[in-house]
């Protein structure tokens, strides 16, 4: 189909609790940031319209809860996702180490048709904290992990300062366009 | 514990306020954050099992992606627990869910209709989708869970809004029966004979319709047409304007006949509201069906069927004022034929004993006949209210747990409603709220007798595919 029709993309955001998933989304959709931490319960949903290469996209963003007790929700939530965003906090080593679990958990539960090439994006968040002095995960280390998982695009962001957030989400649209399935009955 | 929190969180979440409203037309850019959208009394949503929007009655689908995601999360959460969500009450709103494989349908309503009635409406909405795409659409979701169905439904907006509108005026939507245009027996027979001829030449179904009423209908041997399919097919044709402008040949699925396959429908309007539908299983039958139509048209012209159809439309159907009663109930002389002799008694409001309206459904024929809506039921609000009352009555009479029931007499501030079900028919009647019970029952007997006296004119016999 050669039409310029709008595409709807289901985007799942995953990562440990407190890494800033909701803040990233709020910065991206509403251009707002709050220092107060409010744990997401279950999942939260937002939509954002973007334009990329003359195509209109509606991002349906599933902001999930990072706490373990909500992880049983996964199966149903992940179904039919177009992209998965893995978020960690560059100041917390554990949140980086857990990326592997999040990725595997997602692939098991969503069981996409082509897991090798399923579009992920990795975001290292909170680069603004303490001017980067409390950082424990180096960019090099993060990029190496992304490269080992089939060249996952990597972004470093500050949801607070709004740095790089837009670029990370543009990348999602780009990925989706690349993997656009053909509609046939 | 988390369950409750999840639901609460989802319904009370902060809304973004940075998107300006652009009001233009019904499908303007309203989303679930706008007050006007939230004030709508009855919403219908169709979404995919991944939460992607497919159809929304109000607002643009893509603007509601967050809302449909919420709906999917609720449905899937319950599904995860090995259960199915059917119904939620939230204050004055009812939320009714229907899961059809990979397609989820949801109605959110504050109209106080029974949830079974709303679920029936969701079933029809799903059926209408199958009319356009067949059930093989499910396979697209099996192959690709991300599948976005919206583009395949492009341009069918009017079909769905017209169907949803019919839930409040067309009794066929809850009776699962069809209705005929009143015609002299010989006229309907003449139409049936020529339709029978073309069916014998290899046509699967031949229908001559006037709006949503049947003039005549013939099916090939062993092929039977379900009243719901007729409803969905006629809604599809009547709400798609292009059918009016030229003869058309369109793939169409009758979900009750065969949900997996397309049939091919030749549609041609013979008069303003009178149209012919010929259904074939062959996709290359256009010219054959066109020939059939020419043949049918010439026979109908010769026998003046179309003239009779126009006359019947002008005369209208059964009027409660015409229910024949003996002198103890009314001094007027009865008029036994529909649409005749009404002028003399037009000044009276309603029928005998305060009868306002009735619907008679013949169980064997899968057909119903409904009296015309007239004073004092002449506003669309009152009519909608009456149909909703009937619908409620229908649901309570057919309740699987405590029913089915044989009779029901119910009085409220708007009507007396009376329902009577026998193995042969169902009668639904509305009377003035002050009507006397014994008298009302008597009148119902009269109505049934009257309908039986007129059955050759108001029902389709013999040619009916149900006799096969």
| CB count in 10 Å sphere of residue A6 | 16
The pLDDT value given to residue B289? 96
B238 vs B463, higher pLDDT: B238
Interface touch A49/B144, C-beta < 8 Å: no
- pLDDT tens per residue across span A139-166: 999 999 999 999 999 999 998 888 888 8
User: What is the DSSP code (8-state) at residue A180?
Assistant: P
Please give the Cα distance from B350 to A60 (Å, whole number). Answer: 55
**Best interface-test mutation with A: which of B50, B59, B60, B67 has the largest number of A CBs within 10 A?**
B50
Q: Does domain B320-458 have CATH number 1.10.10?
A: no
DSSP bridge partners of B188: none
- pLDDT tens per residue across span B42-62: 999 999 999 999 999 999 888
The pLDDT value given to residue B32? 80
Please give the Cα distance from A82 to A10 (Å, whole number). Answer: 5
Nearest to B151 among A41, A69, A183 (CB): A183
Please give the Cα distance from B375 to B262 (Å, whole number). Answer: 44
Question: Confidence class of residue B380 from pLDDT cuts 50, 70 and 90?
Answer: confident
DSSP bridge partners of A55: A52
Q: Where in chain B are all domains bearing CATH 3.30.450.30? A: 2-155, 185-315
Interface touch A60/B66, C-beta < 8 Å: yes
Interface touch A8/B53, C-beta < 8 Å: yes
Strand ranges of the sheet holding B53-56, from the earlier edge strand across to the other edge? B53-56, B42-48, B103-109, B93-100, B87-90
Distance from the A92 Cα atom to the nearest Cα atom in chain B, whole angstroms: 27
- Predicted ipTM of the assembly: 0.82
**Best interface-test mutation with B: which of A28, A31, A42 has the largest number of B CBs within 10 A?**
A42
Q: Identify the architecture of domain B2-155 in CATH.
A: 2-Layer Sandwich (3.30)
Domain holding A111, by residue range, is 7-178
Question: Confidence class of residue B16 from pLDDT cuts 50, 70 and 90?
Answer: very low
How distant, in Å, are the alpha carbons of A146, B46, B131, B160, B432 from that of A173? Answer: 19, 25, 33, 31, 62
Least confident of A57-66, B178-187, B291-300, B426-435: A57-66
CATH number at residue A56: 3.40.50.300
Please give the Cα distance from B176 to B352 (Å, whole number). Answer: 29
Interface touch A41/B150, C-beta < 8 Å: no
Question: Confidence class of residue B15 from pLDDT cuts 50, 70 and 90?
Answer: very low
- DSSP characters for B315-345? H-S--GGG----TTT-SSPP--STTSS-GGG
- Confirm whether A183 is domain-assigned: no
Whether B185 has a pLDDT exceeding 60, the answer reads yes
Whether B336 has a pLDDT exceeding 70, the answer reads no
Whether B327 has a pLDDT exceeding 70, the answer reads no
User: What is the DSSP code (8-state) at residue B467?
Assistant: G
- Confirm whether A185 is domain-assigned: no
B428 vs B376, higher pLDDT: B428
Nearest to B9 among A42, A69, A184 (CB): A42
| CB count in 10 Å sphere of residue B144 | 17
Whether B14 has a pLDDT exceeding 60, the answer reads no
Q: Identify the architecture of domain B185-315 in CATH.
A: 2-Layer Sandwich (3.30)
The pLDDT value given to residue B340? 47
Please give the Cα distance from A6 to A55 (Å, whole number). Answer: 7
In our burial notation (b when 16+ CB lie closer than 10 A, e otherwise), range A39-68 reads ebbbbbbbbbebebeeeebbbbbbbbbbee
Total domains in the fold of chain A: 1
């Amino acid at each position: 189909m050669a039409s310029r029709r709008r595409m709807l993309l289901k985007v799942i955001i995953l990562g440990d609790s407190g890494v800033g998933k909701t803040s990233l989304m709020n910065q991206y959709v509403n251009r707002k940031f709050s220092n107060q931490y409010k744990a997401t319960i279950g999942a939260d949903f937002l939509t954002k319209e973007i334009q990329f290469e003359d195509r209109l996209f509606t991002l349906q963003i599933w902001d999930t809860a990072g706490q373990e007790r909500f992880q049983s929700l996964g199966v149903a939530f992940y179904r039919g996702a177009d992209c998965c965003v893995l978020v960690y906090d560059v100041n917390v080593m554990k949140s980086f180490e857990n990326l592997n679990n999040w990725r595997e958990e997602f692939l098991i539960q969503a069981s996409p048709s082509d897991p090798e090439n399923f579009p992920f994006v990795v975001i290292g968040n909170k680069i603004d904290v303490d001017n980067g002095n409390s950082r424990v995960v180096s960019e090099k280390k993060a990029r190496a992990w992304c490269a080992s998982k089939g060249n996952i695009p990597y972004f470093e962001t500050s949801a607070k300062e709004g740095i790089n957030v837009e670029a990370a989400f543009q990348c999602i649209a780009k990925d989706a366009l690349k993997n656009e399935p053909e509609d046939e009955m | 514990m988390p369950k409750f929190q999840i639901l609460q969180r989802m319904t009370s979440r902060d809304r973004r306020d940075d998107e300006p409203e652009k009001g233009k037309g019904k499908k303007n850019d309203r989303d679930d954050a706008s007050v006007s959208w939230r004030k709508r009394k009855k919403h219908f949503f169709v979404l995919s099992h991944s939460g992607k929007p497919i159809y929304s009655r109000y607002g643009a689908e893509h603007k509601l992606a967050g809302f449909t995601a919420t709906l999917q999360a609720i449905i899937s959460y319950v599904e995860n627990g090995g259960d199915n969500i059917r119904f939620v009450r939230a204050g004055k709103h009812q939320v009714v869910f229907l899961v059809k494989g990979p397609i989820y349908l949801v109605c959110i309503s504050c109209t106080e209709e029974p949830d079974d009635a709303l679920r029936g409406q969701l079933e029809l909405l799903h059926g209408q989708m199958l009319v356009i795409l067949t059930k093989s659409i499910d396979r697209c979701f099996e192959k690709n869970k991300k599948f976005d169905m919206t583009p395949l439904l492009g341009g069918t907006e009017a079909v769905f809004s017209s169907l949803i509108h019919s839930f409040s005026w067309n009794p066929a939507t809850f009776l699962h029966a069809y209705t005929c245009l009143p015609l002299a027996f010989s006229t309907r027979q003449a139409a049936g004979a020529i339709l029978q001829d073309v069916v014998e030449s290899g046509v699967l179904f031949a229908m001559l319709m006037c709006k949503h009423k049947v003039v005549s209908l013939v099916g090939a041997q062993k092929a039977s047409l379900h009243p719901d399919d007729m409803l969905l097919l006629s809604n599809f044709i009547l709400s798609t304007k292009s059918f009016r402008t030229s003869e058309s040949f369109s793939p169409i699925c009758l979900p009750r006949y065969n949900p997996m396959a397309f049939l091919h429908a030749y549609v041609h309007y013979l008069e303003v509201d009178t149209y012919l539908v010929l259904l074939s299983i062959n996709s290359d039958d256009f010219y054959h069906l066109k020939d059939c139509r020419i043949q049918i048209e010439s026979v109908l012209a010769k026998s003046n069927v179309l003239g009779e159809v126009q006359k019947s439309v002008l005369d209208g159907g059964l009027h409660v004022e015409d229910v024949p009663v003996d002198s103890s109930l009314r001094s007027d002389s009865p008029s036994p034929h529909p649409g005749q002799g009404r002028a003399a008694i037009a000044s009276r409001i309603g029928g005998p004993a305060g009868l306002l309206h009735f619907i008679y459904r013949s169980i064997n024929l899968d057909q119903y006949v409904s009296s015309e809506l007239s004073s004092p039921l002449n506003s669309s609000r009152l009519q909608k209210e009456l149909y909703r009352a009937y619908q409620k009555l229908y649901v309570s009479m057919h309740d699987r747990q405590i029913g089915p029931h044989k009779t029901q007499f119910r009085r409220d501030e708007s009507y007396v409603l009376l329902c009577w079900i026998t193995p042969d028919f169902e009668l639904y009647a509305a009377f003035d709220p002050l009507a006397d019970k014994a008298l009302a029952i008597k009148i119902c007997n009269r109505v049934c007798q009257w309908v039986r006296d007129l059955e050759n004119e108001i029902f389709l016999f013999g040619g009916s595919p149900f006799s096969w």
